[in-house]
Each structure stands twice: as structure tokens, then as C-alpha cells.
């Protein structure tokens, strides 16, 4: 369902034409130096515009107008709080226009992380660590000034074009010298707020609620999944959901403590959380413990027996074969465990050493020996750095999304890579999400995955779609790993999905092509026939673990709840 919030930063990014200038001030100059350029959006506290400082023509700014007279105290308080904060990770205050009841803040040329996740998926390793460290330090600084933010969430974290990170919008921040505060009403974003605030508890510790909000935000940035299904009464067993398996053990320990439902069992200061987080080197799990142990042993073996022996170790771990560095520098192929390979006659190795792929017919010749005389200069070696490349081929063809180390990559086309371990995630429309780790040791490498051989033997479950309320005016489209399953009839409809993890999304389509507006999907409730347990995917997109019910009941129901609230069909 749509969030209810009084947060200034929850704007409608593309307002309709009839509200493109609600205050009627476009082109005007206020305070004798700020020319209004465009309307951004609005929130519970007022209207937001961009502008230019005509006395400093290169300075683009954002102006927040507080349009409600009853919010005068809030306007003064936000200005006072921002003026006390001077930190590179916090968006500062440029000007305070008392007469116009407006705040002037820097314009950040970039994107907020909520939108970034929608466009790019979960943050990659380096960006995740940069965001986490910056926001931890910013909140630590704010708390040292006795200021709690109270609305930490992805859309209040900005990333500029130079990859600088900023915490923005202290519109509902609270300055408190004590460890507890009182509030008469709830403000903030429900999905990221601490349970004690969601339950409207009159007295709570705003600094501990900041720690909770930061914890669930960092979880969301890594997984694109909300940690707790019931936000009012969080259950620690929700940590068992598949998305949590993406996190490294150290990150899990820190975030589990930060997001504990009981405030007394969380970190009691943000400084403690920051100190623990600084011990983390990588945010995401690379290999299960058993495979990490195998990989460590393999690294020792390579010193004694060479790359071919290392291939044997990774075949035991069911990982793609390593290509020796410098062998067949063009079109070297990493074959999966189902591909046949032959032993080249020209390679002098022991019978027990792993065979090379069939596409490699002979080893690369060693560099020629340069003969020199006393009066001849030695020819310099070519020190041009090699830019590693990788190509991933996936069978069978179909709608497919490939992510390598958290970044979207093209299928069957070369892209820049590096030697080492790479996390591969494949979303194919006919198979559940496939995840593996490939170890690449070549400057040019090819990976091949045949999902029919790897996943074709999985059981399937009948997924039954039901829309509530029932209707005859609209159809629904369910996208499973990008593949469309249209649902155009007003009664129950089923289709089979293989058991496993699926990325699902749904939208509404008009049966009458003349319709100009559509309802919105509020949530998807998942239940296994024969079991009483259910869970909810908020909104119209999320991860679904498809699995059979009790023996003989291979059915799973998806209840799509949709709202009568109309949205623009051309959106």
C-alpha cells in the first residue's frame, strides 16, 4: 500500500501539468537573489522548487517553502537544527528566509538511493561500503550534537555524479538532551520506522530508533527486500528469508543487533555500531563456509602443482573450471561441469591433472628469446596493461537478466572484468533464480550455463492467482523473472513455476483499450495451500520462494490486492 508520511522528501517526481507551479512563482526572484527555476514536488510540510542564485550564477539551489502557517515552529526548528550540523555527509543550509518562510539548501546533481535501487538493483560491494560508512559517520556526528534524524531511509540518501554520499532532509529531526522523547503524533516513513514509533508509543528513545532505521535501511540497500514482514511486531525469524543469505556473517551480526525489535537489545549508541561496522571488509557472502575452505586449500595447492591441479579442486566444489593465465589469451572458455573436454597432445602433464577445455588446442608459445650483443640495446618488454574481459552465454534463449557482482551485464557479449571470484546471478523467465560463484584466472574468459541441465530436474508448483476485489474491468500481468504471465479472467487462474526463488512483479492492464486510468496494486499475499502461514509482499514487486505444500498439495496461492485509487495509465 502507499505510504502515509509527512516527510518533505516524499515527492511526486513528475507532477501533472496543472500542478507544475502550485505557488505561481516560476521565474520570480525572491530575497533579491534567488530566481525560481522549476517545481520539484511537495510533501506534508510544503512545496519544493529549484532555483539559481543570480548573484552566483553557477550556484543551483533547492528552496523548501513551508506553506502551512501552523508549521512555523517546525520551519524555525529545522533551520536551527541544520545550522548546527557541519559534516561532509550531511546536506547543509545555505540560507534561511524568514520572511518567505523558506529554507535554501544545495542542489545535489545526482539520484536518491530509492530510485537508484529501482534502476540498478542492490548496491555493489564498493558503493555499499561507501554509503554505509558515510551515513554511519553522519549519524554519529548528529547524535554527538544531540540531534536524532528520525527519518532514515533510502530516499533520504543522495548519491551525486561524483559518487559522494549525503544524508538529507532533517525536516522531522529531534534535538534532545535526554535518552527519551515524547511525541503526540507519528511522522516519518512507516516501512523504515522503528516498531515503537509505528505503534505510536508516546515515550521512546529517538537515538535508538535512528539505529533501527539505519539497520533496516542498510539491509534494504543490500537486498532490495524489507527485513520484517510485520513492521508493527517484527519477528527475528524473518532473518531466515532467502534475501538474508546474500549478506556476509559480519554484516548479519551488526544488522541483527541494530534492528532488534527490543530497543534495549540494540546497540545503545551509534558509535558502538560504527566501530563494529568498521571491522567489515566485504558486505556480501562470496562462498558458503565449506566452499571457502575448499578455495583456501586450492590456493595452497596451486603453489605446488599449478593451475591444472587447482581446477580439480574447484570441480570438487562444483565451480566453473579455471583457465590458466596466459593460455589462449583470446576466446579462452570456462566450461561448466557438464561440458566435455579433451586433453591436448601438446601439453606435457601427468595423467591425474585436470584436462583443458576442448576449445584450447595448444598452449600459447612462450615469448621469444631476444639475442643481444655487447653493442646492441636490449629490446624493452611490452608493459601495456591487459584489460580483462568476460563473456557469459546462457541457454536456453529467452527473457534473461544477468548480474555479475551486483551489476547488470549483457548476455553473450564481452564486458570488462577482472581475475578472481565473481558472483553470478541469472534471472531467466523459465527457471528460478540461479546463483553461483565463478573463479576466473584469465585475461579473456567465457562462461557457459545451460539452465536446462542445472535446474531442469526441479519440482514444479501450481501458482494460483486471485485478485481482490474481484473484477471484470481489468486484467493483471504477473512477471516472473521478467516473463509475462497474463491473467485476464475474473476467476482463479493457475500456471506452474519450478520450485525456487523468483523475482515477481505485477501490474494492471485495461480490458477496455479506451481506459485512460488504472488502479494500483497494493500488495501480494502469498499462501501455500494446506498451510496456515502466509507472508506479504508490499507493493507490486518482490522475491517469491516457490515451494510445494504438504504431499499431494503442490499449490501456492497469490492474492493480489488492488486499490480503487486511480493512477495514470500512461505511467
Confidence class of residue 492 from pLDDT cuts 50, 70 and 90? low
Top-confidence range, 4-18, 426-440, 456-470, 506-520? 426-440
Helix (H) or strand (E) holding 4: none
52 contacts 35 by C-beta, under 8 angstroms = yes
Average pLDDT over residues 53-63: 87
Q: Transcribe 233-267 into DSSP letters.
A: S--GGGGGSGGGGGB-HHHHHHHHHHT-SSGGGS-
Residue 188 has pLDDT above 50, yes or no: no
Average pLDDT over residues 283-291: 61
Q: Where are the beta strands (DSSP E) in 377-533?
A: 389-395, 400-404, 407-409, 415-416, 420-428, 434-440, 444-450, 460-468, 474-480, 483-487, 493-498, 500-510, 517-528
Residue 161 has pLDDT above 60, yes or no: yes
pLDDT at 69: 65
Average pLDDT over residues 219-241: 90
Higher-scoring residue by pLDDT: 64, 571: 64
Pairing of strands 181-182, 474-480: unpaired
Residue 484 has pLDDT above 80, yes or no: yes
Pairing of strands 460-468, 174-175: unpaired
Average pLDDT over residues 4-32: 63
Torsion, Cα of 313, 317, 320, 322 (10° steps): -20
Pairing of strands 102-106, 95-97: antiparallel
Q: Which residues contact 297 (CB under 8 A, 6 or more apart)?
A: 313
427 contacts 436 by C-beta, under 8 angstroms = no
Domains annotated on the chain, with CATH: 17-106 (3.30.200.20), 111-277 (1.10.510.10), 289-341+387-455 (no CATH), 460-568 (2.60.40)
Quickly tell me which residue has 527519551 as its cell. Answer: 180
444 contacts 331 by C-beta, under 8 angstroms = yes
Confidence class of residue 339 from pLDDT cuts 50, 70 and 90? very low
pLDDT at 491: 57
pLDDT at 307: 40
Higher-scoring residue by pLDDT: 152, 231: 152
Residue 208 has pLDDT above 70, yes or no: yes
> By three-state DSSP, how is residue 96 classified?
strand
Higher-scoring residue by pLDDT: 401, 4: 401
Quickly tell me which residue has 554520499 as its cell. Answer: 165
Instruction: 465-470: list long-range contacts, CB under 8 Å, 24+ apart.
Output: 465/492, 465/493, 465/494, 465/558, 465/560, 466/492, 466/557, 466/558, 466/559, 466/560, 467/559, 467/560, 467/562, 468/559, 468/560, 468/561, 468/562, 469/562
Helix (H) or strand (E) holding 537: strand 534-538
**Residue pLDDT, tens place only, 298-311:** 444 433 444 444 34
> By three-state DSSP, how is residue 316 classified?
helix
532 contacts 484 by C-beta, under 8 angstroms = no
Residue 475 has pLDDT above 60, yes or no: yes
pLDDT at 332: 34
pLDDT at 157: 94
**Residue pLDDT, tens place only, 128-150:** 999 999 999 999 999 998 889 88
Average pLDDT over residues 437-461: 85
**Assigned C-alpha cell, 492:** 482463479
Q: Where are the beta strands (DSSP E) in 44-90?
A: 46-53, 60-66
223 contacts 243 by C-beta, under 8 angstroms = yes
559 contacts 537 by C-beta, under 8 angstroms = no
Confidence class of residue 512 from pLDDT cuts 50, 70 and 90? low
Lowest mean pLDDT among 55-69, 464-478, 503-517: 503-517
* Dihedral sign, Cα of residue 457, residue 459, residue 464, residue 465: negative
**Residue pLDDT, tens place only, 63-115:** 988 877 666 666 677 778 877 888 889 988 888 888 888 889 889 999 999 99
Distance between CA atoms of residues 224 and 110, nearest Å:
20
Higher-scoring residue by pLDDT: 314, 547: 547
Residue 60 has pLDDT above 80, yes or no: yes
- What residues form DSSP beta bridges with 506? 478
Average pLDDT, the chain: 74
> By three-state DSSP, how is residue 30 classified?
strand
Higher-scoring residue by pLDDT: 213, 484: 213
pLDDT at 424: 92
Amino acid at each position: 500500500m502507499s505510504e502515509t508520511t509527512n516527510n518533505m522528501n516524499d515527492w511526486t517526481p513528475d507532477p501533472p501539468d496543472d500542478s507544475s507551479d502550485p505557488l505561481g512563482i516560476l521565474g520570480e526572484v525572491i530575497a533579491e537573489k534567488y530566481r525560481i527555476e522549476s517545481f520539484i514536488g511537495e510533501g506534508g510540510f510544503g512545496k519544493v522548487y529549484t532555483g539559481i542564485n543570480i548573484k552566483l550564477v553557477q550556484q543551483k539551489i533547492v528552496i523548501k517553502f513551508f506553506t502551512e502557517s501552523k508549521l512555523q515552529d517546525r520551519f524555525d526548528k529545522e533551520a536551527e537544527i541544520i545550522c548546527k550540523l557541519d559534516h561532509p555527509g550531511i546536506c547543509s543550509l545555505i540560507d534561511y528566509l524568514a520572511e518567505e518562510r523558506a529554507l535554501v539548501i544545495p542542489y545535489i546533481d545526482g539520484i536518491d538511493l530509492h530510485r537508484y535501487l529501482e534502476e540498478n538493483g542492490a548496491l555493489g560491494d564498493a558503493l555499499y561500503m561507501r554509503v554505509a560508512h558515510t551515513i554511519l559517520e553522519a549519524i554519529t556526528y548528529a547524535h554527538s550534537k544531540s540531534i536524532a534524524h528520525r527519518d532514515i531511509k533510502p530516499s533520504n540518501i543522495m548519491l551525486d555524479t561524483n559518487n559522494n554520499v549525503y544524508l538529507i532532509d532533517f525536516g522531522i529531526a529531534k534535538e534532545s538532551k535526554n535518552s527519551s522523547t515524547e511525541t503526540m503524533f507519528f511522522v516519518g516513513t512507516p516501512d523504515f520506522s522503528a516498531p515503537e514509533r509505528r505503534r505510536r508509543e508516546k515515550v521512546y528513545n529517538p537515538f535508538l530508533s535512528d539505529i533501527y532505521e539505519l539497520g533496516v535501511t542498510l539491509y534494504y540497500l543490500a537486498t532490495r527486500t524489507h527485513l520484517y514482514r510485520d513492521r508493527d511486531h517484527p519477528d527475528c525469524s524473518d532473518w531466515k528469508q532467502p534475501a538474508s543469505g546474500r549478506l556476509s556473517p559480519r554484516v548479519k551480526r551488526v544488522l541483527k543487533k541494530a534492528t532488534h525489535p527490543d530497543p534495549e537489545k540494540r546497540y545503545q549508541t551509534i558509535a558502538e555500531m560504527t566501530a563494529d561496522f568498521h571491522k567489515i571488509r566485504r558486505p556480501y557472502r562470496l562462498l558458503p563456509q565449506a566452499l571457502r575452505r575448499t578455495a583456501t586449500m586450492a590456493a595452497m595447492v596451486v603453489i605446488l602443482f599449478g593451475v591444472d591441479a587447482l581446477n580439480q579442486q574447484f570441480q570438487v566444489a562444483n565451480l566453473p573450471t579455471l583457465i590458466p593465465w596466459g593460455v589462449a589469451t583470446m576466446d579462452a572458455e570456462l566450461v561448466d561441469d557438464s561440458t566435455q573436454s579433451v586433453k591436448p597432445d601438446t601439453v606435457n602433464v601427468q595423467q591425474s591433472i585436470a584436462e583443458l577445455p576442448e576449445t584450447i588446442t595448444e598452449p600459447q608459445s612462450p615469448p621469444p628469446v631476444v639475442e643481444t650483443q655487447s653493442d646492441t640495446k636490449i629490446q624493452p618488454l611490452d608493459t601495456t596493461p591487459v584489460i580483462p574481459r568476460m563473456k557469459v552465454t546462457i541457454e536456453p534463449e529467452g527473457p534473461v537478466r544477468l548480474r555479475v557482482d551486483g551489476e547488470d551485464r549483457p548476455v553473450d557479449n564481452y564486458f570488462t572484468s577482472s581475475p578472481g571470484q565473481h558472483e553470478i546471478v541469472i534471472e531467466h523467465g523459465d527457471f528460478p533464480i540461479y546463483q553461483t560463484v565463478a573463479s576466473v584466472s584469465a585475461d579473456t574468459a567465457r562462461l557457459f550455463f545451460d539452465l536446462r541441465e542445472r535446474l531442469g530436474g526441479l519440482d514444479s508448483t501450481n501458482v494460483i492467482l486471485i485478485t481482490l476485489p474481484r473484477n471484470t474491468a481489468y486484467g493483471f500481468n504477473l512477471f516472473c523473472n521478467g516473463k509475462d504471465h497474463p491473467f485476464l479472467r475474473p476467476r482463479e487462474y493457475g500456471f506452474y513455476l519450478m520450485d525456487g526463488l523468483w523475482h515477481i512483479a505485477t501490474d494492471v492492464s485495461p480490458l477496455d483499450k479506451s481506459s485512460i486510468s488504472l488502479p494500483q496494486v497494493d500488495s501480494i499475499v502469498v499462501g501455500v495451500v494446506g498451510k496456515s502461514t502466509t507472508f506479504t509482499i508490499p507493493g507490486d514487486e518482490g522475491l517469491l520462494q516457490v515451494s510445494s505444500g504438504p504431499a499431494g498439495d503442490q499449490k501456492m496461492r497469490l492474492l493480489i490486492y488492488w486499490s480503487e485509487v486511480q493512477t495514470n495509465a500512461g505511467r
